[in-house]
Amino acid sequence: MPTFDVVSEVDMQEVTNAVDQATRELTTRFDFKGTDSTVEINPKTGAIDLASASEERLKAVAQVLEEKLVRRKVSLKILEYGKVEEAAKNSVRQSLKLTVGISQDKAKEIGKFLKADGPKGVSYQIQGDTLRIQGKKRDDLQAAMALLREHDFEIPLEFKNFRD
């Protein structure tokens, strides 16, 4: 039976490069001078930590980071914004968690969506943080892919291991 896997992955090297580019831009832009704005990847949690002098500057830092991520073709759907917290010296900080993989709940939601709106004869299996889709015909699987691309599940979806 033909199958393919639905995954939600992120290229961490591209995220690291985007953070480095954002840091470089923050040090050179005039409107960020004296605001002590930083963008760093926390090695313990893997989250991206933003810090700046005010909430408005923090939003601008996040926007710079988002621009760099988009330019490197990293989906912004992987970012989960934490709440803005007060920090030392009248500054604020925010943590952006990177959502990688498909959770059990999301996998079930995708599976139910396929069962309801997808072609007949298509079934799914949850395998850790991936979802394996099976079908009787190759055309059914391609229709399922098109259907999944059209619907927004709030996570970036990629299709891998298409086999006959």
Looking at residue 145, its amino acid is: M
List strands edge to edge, sheet with 3-7. 122-127, 130-135, 3-7, 158-163
Domains 3-8+102-163 and 12-98 agree in fold: yes
Identify the pLDDT of residue 49: 95
Looking at 3.40.50.1820, 3.30.70.260, 3.50.50.60, 3.30.70.860, the CATH number of the domain 3-8+102-163 comes to 3.30.70.860
Residue 47 per-residue DSSP state: P
pLDDT digits (tens, 9 = 90+) for 60-101: 999 999 999 999 999 999 999 999 999 888 899 999 999 888
Q: Output the pLDDT for position 72.
A: 95
Cβ burial 69-99 (10 Å sphere, 16+ → b, else e): beeeebeeebbeeeeeeeeeeebbbbbbebb
Q: Does domain 12-98 have CATH number 3.30.70.990?
A: yes
Question: Does the pLDDT at position 163 exceed 90?
Answer: no
Classify the C-alpha dihedral 76-78-83-84 as positive or negative: negative
CA–CA gap between residue 99 and residue 126 (Å, rounded) = 18
Sign of CA dihedral 10, 14, 19, 25: negative
Average pLDDT of the residues of the chain: 92
pLDDT per position as a tens digit, 107-125:
999 999 999 998 888 999 9
How far apart are alpha carbons 141 and 133 in whole angstroms?
Answer: 8
Ranges of each domain in the chain: 3-8+102-163, 12-98
Helical axes 55-71 vs 12-28, angle rounded to 10°: 130
Token pair, residue 134, equals 């099976």
pTM: 0.85
Q: What angle do CA 74, 60, 69 make, to 5 degrees?
A: 10
